[in-house]
Amino acid sequence: MATTNATITINSDITSSPLSISKTMVLKKFQSTDGIEETTGLRTKKFNATTAVEIIANTEGTADKASKVYIRNTGSDSAEFFYIALNNNAAASDSTETIGKLYAGDWMFIPWKATAATTHDIVVAPSTTDEMTLEYMVFQE
């Protein structure tokens, strides 16, 4: 059985009292104590257009199971970012729901549910036509 841990540590003086948060979680299979055993592998993709591109297809996850997604903007230019969105083809008028923006050096780690009923692809769009690189990976059952 594989063991995969995710850890985040946040230290800040942004509040009147020093802030220190450190949390670790073990990535587990849906409704199980067994660890997640598969990944798509760490991928990198270079972009040089502002067109939205699907980076993680619904079919890459195990339908209706526990998956986690890691995405990082590898850039160093603070003015350049990626829009990160979920594409849900079930929505009639606007089929994209923007989660947020990943600026240079930013990363995200989110739960994600691939589902057989609708499409929940992860889509990105660079803010510029300058070359930008994104790295990403899906942890799944």
pLDDT digits (tens, 9 = 90+) for 90-136: 444 455 688 899 999 999 999 887 766 556 788 899 999 999 999 99
Q: What pLDDT does 120 receive?
A: 75
Q: What is the chain's length? A: 141
Q: What pLDDT does 89 receive?
A: 45
Q: What pLDDT does 37 receive?
A: 86
Q: What pLDDT does 58 receive?
A: 75
Task: Please state, in angstroms and rounded to a whole number, the distance separating the CA atoms of residues 34 and 11.
Answer: 31
Distance of CA 75 to the CA centre of its chain: 16
Which residue, among 87, 77, 84, has the nearest Cα to 132 in the 3D structure?
77
Q: Which domains does the chain have, with CATH numbers?
A: 38-140 (2.60.120.510)
Task: Please state, in angstroms and rounded to a whole number, the distance separating the CA atoms of residues 23 and 69.
Answer: 17
Q: What pLDDT does 88 receive?
A: 56
Residues 15-65 pLDDT 10s: 888 899 999 999 988 888 888 888 889 999 999 999 888 898 877 766 667
